[in-house]
């Protein structure tokens, strides 16, 4: 059964590239979600990605308490192809026309392969875009807000484990010192957390030295004896093998799609390791962008919504315990309840 409200599939008239725009749900409000520019063996794999990612955005907004629905756009590049910089504008105009044709049902932001500069080009054609550069009135880079939201989630988990949300002296092991990871480590260092960090890029040891953080290899950090392991690199980090080796009390980070398999999720629960779904932890960036650009919140109101991730995570952990389910299942239930209530109130 098609779970989505609408899916547009087009060959871009200027670029010739396959483009998929999936609107999963507008039950809570107009849909939003990133534009992914990525390589796929076949354009249909891009379609599968757009369907999966747009449904995940519905969950993300519903759990975050935002009145937005899930959407996503994928431009499927052939394997090994790189977008031609001279023809990037063609590609972005093709996407912009597609977005504009929906008349505000869906707005796009950046995702893998795109950034604020691309949103500026899309904004030349349609108003339904967010995360344009700040110089153009957009909210720009979302990673500082994603990092801020991650700190809020870490506070909730720390309170759950130790009775208070003070991060001072708490041992945190951060995997990945990229855009989000570096901001996050700076915030955690300012709170007095005891940091261990890693990255595959040895140049990042400079950040560790500056913050007084211990450095481990990516292999070693998995079994570091810490309070919380914080994945902030790529997806799929939690395989069953990795979960068996964990010596932390919780895994809470912004990296997308952390669970390699459902089995790994079950094993976390059996081992008594708290895991909070990444789409809840990483919502700060999109919360800031959507609230400031699409809901006209001021910076203070947007920050309050990002910090509210602490309450969201605390509620999820409580519900999970009360129902005897994982936080992931509790998050899905929360989302379904909100969406059902919105649909019922619309009749």
Instruction: Point out the residues that are catalytic.
Output: 72
Minimum CB distance to ligand NAD, residue 254 (Å): 4
Residue nearest to ligand NAD (CB): 178
Nearest alpha-carbon partner for 223 in 283, 295, 157, 173: 173
Q: Are strands 171-175 and 194-198 parallel, antiparallel or unpaired?
A: parallel
Q: How far is the CB of 233 from ligand NAD (least distance, A)?
A: 3
Could you give the strand order of the β-sheet that contains 171-175, starting from the edge strand earlier in sequence? Answer: 214-215, 194-198, 171-175, 228-231, 250-251, 274-275
Binding site members for NAD(+): 176-181
The binder of ligand NAD chosen from 25, 73, 142, 326 (CB under 6 A): 142
| Nearer of residues 94 and 199 to ligand NAD, judged by Cβ | 199
Among residues 96, 177, 251, 306, the one that binds ligand NAD under rule CB under 6 A? 177
Q: Considering only residues 69, 181, 265, 277, which one is a binding residue for ligand NAD as defined by CB under 6 A?
A: 181
Binding mask 88-117 vs ligand NAD (x if CB under 6 A, - otherwise)? ------------------------------
Q: How far is the CB of 146 from ligand NAD (least distance, A)?
A: 4
Options 8-16, 20-28, 120-128, 138-146: segment touching ligand NAD (CB under 6 A): 138-146
Q: What is the 3-state secondary structure (H, E, C) of 158-220?
A: HHHHHCCCCCCCCEEEEECCCHHHHHHHHHHHHCCCEEEEECCCHHHHHHHHHHCCEECCHHH
3-state secondary structure at position 106: strand
- Separation CA 100–CA 131 (nearest Å): 17
Indicate whether 81 belongs to the interface with ligand NAD (CB under 6 A).
no
User: Could you say which of 15, 54, 146, 196 contacts ligand NAD (CB under 6 A)?
Assistant: 146
The least distance separating ligand NAD from the CB of residue 252, rounded to whole angstroms, comes to: 13
Task: Report the site for ligand NAD in 3-42 (rule: CB under 6 A).
Answer: none
Q: At what angle do helices 309-323 and 327-345 cross, to 10 degrees?
A: 110
Binding ligand NAD (rule: CB under 6 A), the pick from 84, 134, 201, 225 is 201
Question: Quick check: 46 and 267 in contact, CB under 8 A?
Answer: no
Q: What are phi and psi of 80, to 5 degrees?
A: 80, -15
The token pair that represents 129 in the structure block? 């875009």
Residues at the binding site are 176-181
User: 201: buried, middle or exposed (CB in 10 Å: 19+, 13-18, 0-12)?
Assistant: exposed
Q: Specify the stretch interacting with ligand NAD by CB under 6 A; choose among 43-51, 92-100, 127-135, 227-235.
A: 227-235
The residues that touch ligand NAD, with contacts defined as CB under 6 A, are 142-143, 146, 175-181, 198-201, 218, 232-235, 254-256, 282, 285
């Amino acid at each position: 059964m098609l779970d989505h409200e609408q899916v547009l599939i087009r060959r871009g008239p200027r670029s010739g590239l396959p483009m998929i725009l999936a609107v999963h749900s507008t039950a809570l409000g107009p849909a939003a979600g990133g534009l992914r520019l990525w390589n796929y063996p076949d354009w249909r794999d891009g379609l599968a990605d757009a369907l999966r990612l747009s449904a995940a955005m519905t969950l993300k907004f519903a759990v975050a308490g935002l009145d937005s629905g899930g959407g996503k756009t994928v431009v499927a590049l052939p394997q090994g192809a790189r977008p031609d910089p001279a023809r990037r504008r063609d590609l972005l105009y093709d996407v912009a026309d597609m977005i504009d044709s929906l008349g505000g049902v869906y707005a796009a932001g950046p995702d893998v392969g795109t950034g604020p500069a691309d949103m500026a080009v899309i904004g030349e054609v349609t108003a339904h875009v967010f995360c344009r550069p700040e110089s153009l009135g957009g909210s720009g880079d979302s990673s500082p807000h994603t990092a801020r939201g991650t700190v809020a989630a870490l506070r909730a988990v720390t309170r759950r484990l130790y009775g208070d949300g003070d991060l001072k002296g708490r041992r945190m092991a951060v995997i990945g010192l990229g855009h989000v990871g570096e901001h996050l480590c700076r915030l955690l260092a300012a709170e007095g957390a005891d940091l261990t960090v890693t990255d595959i890029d040895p140049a990042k040891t400079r950040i560790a030295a500056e913050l007084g953080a211990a450095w481990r290899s990516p292999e070693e950090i998995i079994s570091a004896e810490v309070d919380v392991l914080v994945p902030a690199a790529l997806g799929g980090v939690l395989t069953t093998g990795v979960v068996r080796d964990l010596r932390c009390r919780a895994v809470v980070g912004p990296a997308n799609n952390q669970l390699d398999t459902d089995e790994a999720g079950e094993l976390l629960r059996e081992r008594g390791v708290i895991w909070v779904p990444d789409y809840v932890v990483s919502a700060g960036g999109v919360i800031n962008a959507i609230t400031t650009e699409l809901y006209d919140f001021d910076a203070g109101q947007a920050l309050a919504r990002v910090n509210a991730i602490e309450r969201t995570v605390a509620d999820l952990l409580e519900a999970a315990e009360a129902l005897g389910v994982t936080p992931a299942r509790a998050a899905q239930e929360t989302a379904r309840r909100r969406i059902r209530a919105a649909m019922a109130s619309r009749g």
